[in-house]
Amino acid sequence: MRMDNMRVLITGGARGIGRAAAELALAQGARVAVWALHSESVEEVKTAVPAIHWADAVDVGERDAVERGVKKILEAMGPIDVLINNAGYTLTSRFLEEEPAYWERVIATNFWGAVYTMRAVLPHMVQRGQGSIVNVVSDAGRVGMAGEAVYAGAKGGVVAFSKSIAQEMARHQIRVNCVAPGPTRTRILESNTEDGDAEKLIEKMIRRIPLRRIAEPHEVAEAVLFLASPAASHITGQVLSVSGGLTMI
């Protein structure tokens, strides 16, 4: 599953699944660019993973910022071969207790972020007649999740959007797939609790997972990089669940 000299853009690439995907892509010979929301996160990942070729602070929920960010990568690295949309945002809360500003941020990051980034990258892939896109969604977007209703809706929207674009782009030899993680040990999971007791939440999740553990970021990243790589050259329009058997549909 080599990706020698392939140019890879990973959004939300400073931490968790995104950073694990960046490290794995580098190990496979790719040239990697990452985006993070904050400049502090950019500096953090540049220090932690110095082999990264490009790192920038980009809010994927802002279309102009995405277009500027893609232009910078094209100038610095050349055409993007692989796009991994990993940026995401959610909190655990009850729908009737949430404010519209929260919904807007969730939808902007999780749904519009994928739309804007794909719209900026796809014309260049079409011009070259090749490319691969992997959108990191969530099993919440496939089966629903109490406490994450708007997030689940946004991720479900990305699934439908991805399948539609996969159909449109197939004639250009551009593949579009999704990876749907279940509970994964990331900073978001460990901080996304109402009472601050992350381990209590994780233990509750583990009791529902047939493999009796949550995923580590590198395990999700392996699935992402498989679908992104030439090893999955005849796979498009698919959603791969990485949930330890939590969802089996």
Taken as a whole, the chain contains a residue count of 249
Q: Which of 27, 32, 28 is closest to 14 using CA atoms?
A: 32
Helices (H), the chain: 16-27, 39-48, 63-77, 100-107, 113-128, 140-143, 149-169, 187-191, 198-206, 217-228
Which residues 6+ apart lie within 8 Å of 46 measured at CB? 52, 55
Q: Which of 29, 190, 45 is closest to 11 using CA atoms?
A: 45
Whether 102 is catalytic: no
DSSP string, 104-168: HHHHIIIIIHHHHHHHHHHHHHHHHT-EEEEEE--THHHH--TT-HHHHHHHHHHHHHHHHHHHH
- Strands, sheet with 174-181, edge to edge from the N-terminal-most edge strand: 54-57, 31-36, 7-11, 82-85, 131-136, 174-181, 239-242
Task: Point out the catalytic residue in the list 89, 102, 116, 151.
Answer: 151
The CB density around residue 98, as the number of other CB atoms within 10 Å, is 14
Cα atoms found within 13 Å of the Cα of residue 229, Cβ hemisphere only? 20
Residues catalogued as catalytic: 151
